[in-house]
């Protein structure tokens, strides 16, 4: 249980403040729990807490102990007129900056209550479910009693084009190559890992109530996933995230940064430190004392663990017409695709990392949580709330023992061997800089992992892959166990990074499937396309040739439930409002052909 000192209101009042604004009274969530982590994933992108003061990133699973209170997504950029656009969330005190569901794909950047309602959920799918689904569609007798799960049937493969949304949303395997998601014909979700949770949110469905910033008009497709791999300590204690970030606005943003805000709570939230490992692309939390807490059930006690947020691959660098080499004192230190022989496919990694404080433990008001959208953006740029540079040494502020120069990474230890974070110049004091060397007073630390800057073109898509990696050394002497756990975590990060870059799961198979979302082709000749399928209110029908069709719909018992003549056309709609949920057969008949298609009424 975490009770922030900044929350001077009661738990009941806190919950009311949290739920003010976009989300109504609840935030839909599901748990990613196939390995030794039990992580609460929320549909609005604000993960790992219950919106009432309780952490929900439990590791080991079933222990009642947690390493993270919350982690959220930040993004900010500037348009051609110099206006700042920014969306971010921390604790949702005044409401949120994000809303459920996709935006229109035509640059109008709109959503509606029905879309929000339809996407106020997560879709949870396992690899074993998909295997059963494939076997069932090939031979129903091979999987007796199998029924497709509601999340497979309702997988959000398509948007509502009548509202301007993109026709293709969540990735899927198109078995029969019709261009439409048809689970009854064998199509199935395309997931990563052995268990995956899919969710879609945006920043333009409501005002930005947390930051007061102007929304960018982005649509974020999130997939949280994990592997069942108990033989690998690293994979057994790691969850992954894959974000597709789409700029649906008509604006191009420059100096764009994305960030991962994480409130580390290693058991007891008030005795923590934060560090950075530049080469491993990670910011991490660890205990500031050898023993965590005071013996409460949710405290780790001796040899407490360390927990990272590791950026595996961030947004694409702006093109420069070359294959940027690896091994330089630049973004190649922890980025991806450098020196691989391919021009302009380099992806940024961790480019800045900072730590700041809950207000109760602050030694300077400029080093606490940001509140205005400008303050959020100054954190992206490596400055404190008073617009002074983050400096090397001390607590990173000119008034708190820092000796400089300005730096990209706080508390890097010896991980920035070429001084990339200080522009190639050696620090003006000791180079080995951690919270331990500074003998800081442990407290409730937050961390911000940043990747940028980059140019975000109108209509462009960017990608962010990251992982939450845990480590614990329970065999080290108690006096140094908290530091030994940092070393154990770094070994696990090495395992995870190697597996991701080589696309090799240590328990067999790829990390990233080789099948990509199918090309967005037109319907093939002599075919009928229906969408959305499953349908809630309306079924859209497209045929490859215009004819006068007799349109009939039958239920699974062969009963005719719809019969209408459609004049010479190849596009029309069928209302499904009055149909009970279930499986139906659509049959189109013309002078020279007959076509049938199954669909599901949701």
Q: What is the pLDDT of residue 361?
A: 59
- Between 515 and 537, the higher pLDDT residue: 537
Token output for 188: 């199935």
Cα 133 from Cα 345, distance rounded (Å): 36
Question: Do 25 and 378 touch, CB atoms closer than 8 A?
Answer: no
pLDDT score of 21 more than 50: no
Per mean pLDDT, which of 101-115, 247-261, 350-364 is the most reliable? 247-261
Percent of the chain with pLDDT over 70: 92
Band of residue 360 on the pLDDT scale cut at 50, 70, 90? low
* Whether the predicted model's global pTM rises above the 0.85 cut: no
State mean pLDDT over 126-133.
96
Band of residue 400 on the pLDDT scale cut at 50, 70, 90? very high
Question: Do 307 and 449 touch, CB atoms closer than 8 A?
Answer: no
State mean pLDDT over 456-482.
96
Q: What is the mean pLDDT of the chain?
A: 89
pLDDT digit string, tens, across residues 520-531: 222 333 467 788
> Nearest 10 degrees: CA dihedral of 113, 116, 121, 122?
160
Band of residue 391 on the pLDDT scale cut at 50, 70, 90? very high
Cα 591 from Cα 549, distance rounded (Å): 8
Band of residue 8 on the pLDDT scale cut at 50, 70, 90? very low
State mean pLDDT over 93-100.
87
pLDDT digit string, tens, across residues 63-81: 999 999 999 999 999 999 9
pLDDT digit string, tens, across residues 214-238: 999 999 999 999 999 999 999 999 9
Sketch out the chain's domains with CATH numbers: 1-314+349-381+443-513 (no CATH), 389-441 (no CATH), 528-601 (2.60.40.3080)
Q: Buried b vs exposed e over 80-110: b needs ≥16 C-beta within 10 Å?
A: eeeebbbbbbbbbbebbbbbbbbbbbebebb
Among 39-43, 436-440, 537-541, 567-571, name the one with the lowest average pLDDT. 567-571
């Amino acid at each position: 249980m975490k009770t922030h000192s900044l929350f001077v209101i009661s738990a009941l009042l806190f919950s009311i403040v949290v739920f003010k604004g976009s989300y109504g009274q609840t935030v839909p969530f599901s748990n990613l729990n196939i390995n030794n982590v039990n992580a609460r994933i929320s549909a609005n992108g604000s993960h790992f807490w219950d919106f009432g003061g309780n952490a929900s990133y439990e590791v080991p699973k079933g222990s009642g102990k947690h390493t993270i209170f919350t982690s959220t997504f930040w993004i900010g950029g500037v348009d051609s007129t110099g206006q700042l656009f920014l969306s971010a969330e921390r604790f949702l005190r005044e409401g949120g900056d994000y809303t459920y569901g996709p935006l229109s794909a035509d640059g109008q950047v709109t959503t509606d209550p029905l879309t929000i309602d339809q996407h106020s959920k997560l879709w949870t799918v396992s690899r074993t479910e998909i295997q059963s689904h494939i076997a069932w569609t090939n031979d129903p007798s091979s999987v007796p009693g199998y029924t497709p799960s509601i999340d497979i049937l309702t997988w959000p493969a398509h948007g509502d084009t009548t509202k301007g949304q993109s026709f293709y949303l969540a990735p899927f395997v198109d078995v029969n190559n019709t261009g439409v998601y048809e689970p009854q014909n064998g199509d199935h979700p395309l997931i990563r890992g052995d268990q995956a949770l899919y969710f879609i949110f945006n920043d333009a469905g409501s005002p930005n109530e947390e930051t007061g910033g102007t929304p960018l008009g982005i649509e974020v497709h999130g997939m949280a996933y994990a592997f069942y791999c108990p033989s690998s300590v690293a994979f057994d204690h790691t969850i992954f995230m894959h974000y597709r970030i789409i700029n649906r606005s008509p604006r191009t943003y420059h100096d764009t940064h994305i960030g991962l805000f994480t409130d580390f709570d290693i058991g007891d939230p008030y005795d923590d430190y934060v560090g950075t490992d530049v080469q491993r692309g990670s910011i991490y939390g660890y205990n500031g004392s050898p023993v965590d807490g005071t013996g409460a059930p949710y405290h780790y006690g001796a040899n407490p663990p360390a927990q990272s947020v590791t950026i595996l691959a961030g947004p694409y660098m702006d093109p420069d017409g070359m294959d940027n080499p690896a091994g330089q004192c630049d973004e190649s230190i922890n980025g991806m695709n450098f020196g691989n022989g391919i021009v302009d496919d380099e992806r940024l990694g961790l480019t800045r990392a900072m730590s700041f404080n809950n207000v109760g433990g602050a030694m300077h008001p400029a080093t606490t949580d940001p509140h205005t959208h400008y303050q959020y953006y100054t954190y992206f740029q490596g400055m404190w709330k008073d617009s002074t540079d983050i400096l090397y040494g001390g607590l990173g502020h000119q008034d708190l023992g820092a000796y400089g120069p300005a730096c990209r990474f706080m508390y890097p230890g010896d991980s920035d061997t070429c001084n990339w974070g200080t522009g190639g110049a050696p620090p003006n004091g000791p180079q080995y800089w951690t919270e331990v060397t500074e003998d800081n007073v442990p407290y409730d630390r937050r961390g911000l992992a940043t990747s940028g800057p980059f140019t975000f073109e109108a209509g462009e898509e960017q990608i962010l892959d990251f992982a939450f990696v845990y480590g614990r050394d329970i065999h080290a002497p108690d006096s140094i166990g908290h530091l030994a756990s940092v070393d154990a975590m770094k070994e696990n990060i090495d395992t995870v990074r190697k597996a991701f870059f080589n696309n090799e799961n240590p328990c067999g198979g790829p990390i990233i499937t080789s099948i990509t979302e199918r090309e967005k082709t037109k319907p093939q000749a002599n075919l009928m396309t229906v969408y959305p399928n499953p349908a809630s209110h309306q079924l859209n029908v497209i045929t490859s040739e215009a004819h006068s069709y007799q349109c009939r719909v039958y239920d699974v018992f062969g009963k005719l439930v719809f019969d209408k003549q459609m004049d010479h056309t190849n596009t029309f709609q069928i209302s499904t409002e009055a149909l009970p949920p279930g499986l139906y057969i659509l049959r189109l008949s013309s002078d020279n052909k007959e076509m049938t298609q199954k669909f599901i009424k949701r």
